[in-house]
Structures are given as structure tokens and as C-alpha cells.
């Protein structure tokens, strides 16, 4: 069994990756930005029922600083670099996101290379793949890159694209280490703590009845357990070195379809979930006065299809369905009391 460094252990994907690594018999080293975040990680692992939690070593390191990374990588066979800035709202200055994401990836790769790590698996995003392209019929795969010269590219999308490009450039320029990249779409599945990503907030907003009608929006989703599984496969499979892998469950699913799946699966616990829909113009009008709606208004009636064929073919990856990812997310929100059923 191997020793694996997982960066950003208090994150959604990272915690699930740690659970699966421990279940597979590996030892884990994980970084947190401050020592007090260790408690949050331990709570998440306990909620997930992770075995052998004594095999987890906690270290302090921040993507914005160079200290701590050499110590974190020392003795590791593999690194899952999952940590990355993910804001609840887009910053006014895009450098607040781009710098830590790009420079942090470089710090982790350099520390891993110097420590003799075999391979780094970088968590990138569909944000680095599918934006800035006008062709609505295109099915995105690992050969695609976001066009940063296009109008309306958000700071987050820029940060993920630039950070992944920088990681590949580092390996090509300096060598000495293998790199594989996982590019997830919107991640749902069982939550383990109260800090919710923008994708999970969609489910919590539906579940709590805050949306009077579903907007005409579609999203690609994937279960967090399958994202973690794909990381582990990319970590050990010889074919994965030098490859990107899109993590997507299947076809895009609409907000309305998610709502119907929650109502069908959860019964009275989902009684607040709307089954109504409203046209785009209603939400564009609301965007003038409601900031959360303003953030999604640019994505109305946009469908981006993505393929998971490569991960299935090369790594034998078999993701859960869109509906299972959404329902398991909702069930965990109710179970942890983050959203209360009527």
C-alpha cells in the first residue's frame, strides 16, 4: 500500500478521496490551511464512516505560500492535488483567484518532484474545458480547452484554465514527475459538512423551496464519490500518466429534471421542491434586483454536453447516474440538518 498526500483535506472532494484511500488500505497525509481545520476534516471522515483514521497525518500548508509543501510531500508515493480556491461569489479582482490557483499548483508539483513522488493527480475542472465556444452542438472531451480570449469568461474559469495549463507546462519544462488531470463538472453526491459549493446550493435551494419555479438551465453533474474514485484510478493506472479525464455522469440535466427526481425519490421530505418552470425572461428581469439570480442569468438556455468515454474506456470508470448524484446530495442535506424537511 502507498502513502498519498491529499491537499486541502477539508474540501468536499478531498474528504471523499481520503475516505476511499483509507478504505483501500493506503496511508494519507493531508494539508489544511490552519491547524484548527483538522477538526473539520476529522468530523467529515467520521460522518463518512472512514476506517483507519489513525493512518491520517495532518500538516499545515497554504497555496498562497511556499512554506510547508516540502514537508507535506516528504515520504509520499503519490499526490492528489485537490485544493484550489473556490469562491462563493466572483471576486472583483481576478488575480485573487488566478494567483493562488496557478502558483499553488506549481508549489505542489515542485515539492512533489523534489520529494521523489511518482505521480501527481491534479483536480482541474470542466471550467478549463468547455467555456468560450460558440458551437452549441459540440460535445466536449479532453481535447478541448476553454478559450480565454472569449467575452464573459469569469475569474474562476480563468483560474482553473490557467492553473491547469501551468501544471502541464511545469511537467514539460522541468520533468521528473508524472501528471494526470481530472476535470469534474458540477459535483453533487453526499455532503459531509456545512460548507456548500455552488452546485450543492442548487439542490439545497430547490429542497428548501427558495425557488418558486425552475429556470431554463441545464448542468452537467457527477457524484463526488465517482470523482474520488476517478482520482484513485488516475493515480495508479499506468495509462493515466500524461492524460486528462473528464468526470461527468452523462447527459446534461435540467433544473426541472433535478426537481422531479427529488420529488419522486424523497416524497414528503421534498414537498417544498417546485415542479413549476418559468421562461428565461422572468429570471433576467429578476437578475436586475436579485444578486444570486444575476450570477446565473448568463447561463440560461445554454446546454454544454460532455463525454466520459475516455475515463470509461481507459480506466474502467463507471459513474452513478445524474439522478442518484442529486438525490444522495439531498438526502445528506436533510440527514445533517443543513436543510430541514417540512
Q: Cα(197)–Cα(89) distance, rounded to whole angstroms?
A: 11
Least confident of 88-97, 159-168, 262-271: 88-97
Q: What is the mean pLDDT of residues 101-119?
A: 95
Predicted local distance difference test score (pLDDT) of residue 211: 83
- Return the pLDDT at 93: 66
> Model-level pTM?
0.94
Q: Annotated catalytic, 160?
A: yes
**Residue 232 burial by Cβ neighbours in a 10 Å radius (0-12, 13-18, 19+):** buried
Count of all residues that appear for the chain in the document: 342
Each residue's pLDDT tens digit, 16-50:
999 999 999 999 999 999 999 999 999 999 999 99
Domain boundaries, the chain: 3-190+221-248
| Architecture (CATH level 2) of domain 3-190+221-248 | 3-Layer(aba) Sandwich (3.40)
Catalytic pick among 92, 158, 160, 272: 160
Q: Indicate if the pLDDT at residue 92 is higher than 70.
A: no
Exposed/middle/buried for residue 21 (C-beta within 10 Å: 0-12, 13-18, 19+) = buried
The mean predicted confidence, pLDDT, of the chain is 92
Cell of 285: 428581469
Q: In whole angstroms, what is the distance from residue 239 CA to residue 314 CA?
A: 7
Q: What pLDDT score was predicted for residue 191?
A: 98
Amino acid at each position: 500500500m502507498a502513502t498519498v498526500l491529499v491537499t486541502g483535506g477539508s474540501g468536499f472532494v478531498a474528504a471523499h478521496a481520503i475516505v476511499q484511500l483509507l478504505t483501500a488500505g493506503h496511508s494519507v497525509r493531508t494539508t489544511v490551511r490552519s491547524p484548527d481545520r483538522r477538526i473539520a476534516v476529522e468530523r467529515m471522515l467520521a460522518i463518512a464512516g472512514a476506517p483507519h483514521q489513525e493512518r491520517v497525518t495532518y500538516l499545515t500548508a497554504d497555496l498562497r505560500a511556499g512554506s510547508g509543501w516540502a514537508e507535506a510531500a516528504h515520504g509520499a508515493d503519490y499526490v492528489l492535488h485537490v485544493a484550489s480556491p473556490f469562491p462563493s461569489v466572483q471576486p472583483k479582482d481576478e488575480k485573487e483567484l488566478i494567483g493562488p490557483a496557478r502558483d499553488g499548483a506549481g508549489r505542489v508539483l515542485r515539492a512533489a518532484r523534489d520529494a521523489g513522488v511518482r505521480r501527481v493527480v491534479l483536480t482541474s475542472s470542466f471550467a478549463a474545458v468547455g467555456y468560450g465556444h460558440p458551437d452549441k452542438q459540440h460535445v466536449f472531451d479532453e481535447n478541448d480547452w476553454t478559450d480565454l480570449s472569449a467575452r464573459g469568461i469569469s475569474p474562476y474559469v480563468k483560474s482553473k484554465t490557467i492553473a491547469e495549463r501551468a501544471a502541464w507546462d511545469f511537467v514539460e519544462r522541468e520533468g521528473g514527475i508524472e501528471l494526470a488531470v481530472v476535470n469534474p463538472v458540477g459535483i453533487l453526491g453526499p455532503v459531509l459538512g456545512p460548507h456548500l459549493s455552488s452546485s450543492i446550493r442548487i439542490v439545497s435551494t430547490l429542497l428548501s423551496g427558495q425557488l418558486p419555479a425552475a429556470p431554463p438551465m441545464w448542468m452537467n453533474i457527477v457524484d463526488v464519490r465517482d470523482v474520488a474514485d476517478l482520482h484513485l484510478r488516475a493515480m495508479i493506472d499506468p495509462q493515466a500518466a500524461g492524460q486528462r479525464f473528464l468526470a461527468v455522469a452523462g447527459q446534461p440535466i435540467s433544473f426541472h429534471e433535478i426537481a422531479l427526481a427529488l420529488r419522486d425519490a424523497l416524497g414528503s421530505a421534498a414537498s417544498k421542491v417546485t415542479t413549476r418552470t418559468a421562461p428565461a425572461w422572468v429570471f433576467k428581469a429578476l437578475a436586475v434586483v436579485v444578486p444570486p439570480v444575476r450570477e446565473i442569468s448568463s447561463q440560461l438556455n445554454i446546454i454544454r454536453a460532455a463525454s466520459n468515454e475516455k475515463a470509461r474506456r481507459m480506466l474502467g470508470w463507471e459513474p452513478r447516474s445524474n439522478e442518484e448524484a442529486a438525490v444522495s446530495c439531498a438526502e445528506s442535506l436533510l440527514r445533517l440538518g443543513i436543510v430541514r424537511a417540512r
